[in-house]
Amino acid sequence: MAKRSTLRRMLTIQRVLVKYGLDDIIKETHLLRPLRFIFYLLPGRRDSSAPIGERIRLALEELGPIFIKFGQALSTRRDLLPADIADELAKLQDAVPPFPAEQAVAIIDAAYGEPVDVVFERFDQEPLAAASIAQVHTAKLKTGHEVIVKVLRPGVQEQIEGDLAVLRSIAGLADRHWQHGKRLRPLEVVAEYENTIIDELDLMREAANTAQLKRNFQGSEMLYVPDVYWDYCRPEVLIQERIYGTPISDMDALLEAGTDIQVLAENGVEIFFTQVFRHNFFHADMHPGNIFVITTDPDKPKYAAVDFGIIGTLSPEDQRYLAENFLAFFDRDYHRIAKLHLDSGWVPAETRIDQLETAIRTVCEPIFNKPLAEISFAQMLMRLFKVAQRFNVEIQPQMILLHKTLFNIEGLGRQLYPQLDLWKTAHPVLKRWMDEQVGPRAMLNDLRNNLPQLRNALLELPAIIEHLSERPNDRQADVAARSAELQLQREQSALQRRQNFWLTIAATTALSGTLILTFASVPAMGLGLLVATGVAAVMARP
């Protein structure tokens, strides 16, 4: 049954592509290519004279959520697409056709077990925005708070699960038959994407993501995150504070308000790297429809973000690896980049590091220190892909969300401020993070984290000292009983006294270090040396 359903969906995809006159896609992909002529005979085929951008947008809308999200990501890449296509795809960010308000009301009634007008003082039937997974209505709570009400699309879960089955089937074929299938790991990539998209279908999870991101940027002058009204949240309904700002894509309004666009663009880069490296919790759906600007103070514009259904995290190892790669790139240390790829296992062990270094330099050097306006990322990506093919670089599925987010960030930066020096803006943020990971502050944090174990060890020190201090008396009694070994026992007693002396020093040093750690009254490096000396002395005793 599942296979028949998947085949039907693949046929549907083909039918929609033909319907909107996108025959070239079928020819290029070879997906059910022999059957394409069947669809030419079906009714409802659009006139291919309509603008291609419009036809692509309409096809993606008809195909559903997963395809809409693909179009959203592409819409930010005006360096990759003609302007007319990019303009059409941009409509997918917040202008997806809405579903009827009556259906939204029915979902809300079922979620609360009571009518909408009992919960809200006012509920606006006209949607504020409609997206691929859900749509948003404005409302007012009985408490007087102005809020937005996010409601899942009816039947969206079944549709997404059907499309995921199609993606798994295509990925399986690619894994088995495509020459690059093993290296690009399509099955793992689809599995990673599946986890992400399924998480979006639980609005309680999105509410939790929102709350966490708000805590991370509490008091920030660069980013505002709306409040969540937990008492009204359900898996299919999300209630949060309504924010008022200018859409990031409305450049005319931002310029009319006197917004410092350069500051805005630089802050965007810093927010991204802060999320990825300092918080390890980043907004991974940062297309223009989810980003607004608060221009109360035009000289210090502030971002306001919404829609936290997709959040990315990285392992500490991946964080460190990425940070070192970025810093090596900023320093033009291409040998270091090549070595990092080799050490991480992303390229085969037999790879010649000098050849990989030369290939990376050839791609990266031409764009170094250039503003976004002078960089052809489309060309650079193609060249990097060829390098990856040549050296059998394995695609890391856990990086997919980060790549997608970088894709969006670069697209936003290009729209906002093409003169942005991306490298200069990001470099100090990464340097600070690396200092926190390996510098004195990192040592202090490690010591604080291990403080409970250290205190437990110190509690045992008096008993250890007492036990050791009794041992000389025992040995002296043995010496009296065994006069033939008197000289040997004297030497042992002298050795024991030296041990007791160093143990006392160790206990005193460790105890002092603990007190200093507790009250944080000396620099981190001095503190680390004190505690480390004490612990080392205890561990080194015979």
DSSP 109-139: HHHHTS-HHHHEEEE-SS-SEE-SSEEEEEE
Q: Is 285 a catalytic residue?
A: yes
Which pLDDT does position 527 carry in this prediction?
A: 32
Q: Is the confidence at residue 381, as pLDDT, over 70?
A: no
Q: Is the confidence at residue 507, as pLDDT, over 50?
A: no
- Of 94, 163, 285, 307, the catalytic one is 285
DSSP H helices, 417-542, are: 422-438, 440-449, 451-481, 486-519, 524-540
DSSP H helices, 450-485, are: 451-481
Q: What token pair was written down for 97?
A: 């056709």
pLDDT mean over 388-397: 70
The DSSP symbol for 309 reads S
Q: What token pair was written down for 251?
A: 């450049």
- Going from the C-alpha of 425 to that of each of 98, 193, 275, 422, the distances in angstroms are 39, 30, 15, 5
Percentage above 70 pLDDT, the chain: 67
Q: Is the confidence at residue 343, as pLDDT, over 50?
A: yes
Ramachandran class of 258: left when φ > 0, alpha when ψ lies in -120 to 50, beta otherwise:
left
**Summary mean pLDDT of the chain:** 76
On the 0-12 / 13-18 / 19+ scale of CB atoms within 10 A, 102 is exposed
> Tens of pLDDT along 450-466?
666 666 666 666 766 66
pLDDT mean over 19-39: 61
The DSSP symbol for 365 reads G
Secondary element (H or E) of residue 75: helix 65-75
Q: What token pair was written down for 120?
A: 């809200």
Which pLDDT does position 71 carry in this prediction?
A: 78
Whether the Cβ atoms of residue 58 and residue 94 lie closer than 8 Å to each other: no
pLDDT mean over 439-443: 61
Which pLDDT does position 167 carry in this prediction?
A: 77
Which pLDDT does position 540 carry in this prediction?
A: 39
The Cα–Cα gap between 337 and 352 comes to 13
Q: What token pair was written down for 457?
A: 């060890």
- What are the percentages of helix, strand and coil residues in the chain, rounded to 5? 65, 10, 25
How far is the first Cα of the chain from the last one, in angstroms, to the nearest whole number? Answer: 71
The Cα–Cα gap between 78 and 438 comes to 39
How many other C-beta atoms are found inside a 10 Å radius of the C-beta of residue 41? 8
Which pLDDT does position 413 carry in this prediction?
A: 78
Which pLDDT does position 421 carry in this prediction?
A: 74
pLDDT mean over 58-87: 77
pLDDT band at 393 (very low <50, low <70, confident <90, very high): confident
Ramachandran class of 47: left when φ > 0, alpha when ψ lies in -120 to 50, beta otherwise:
beta
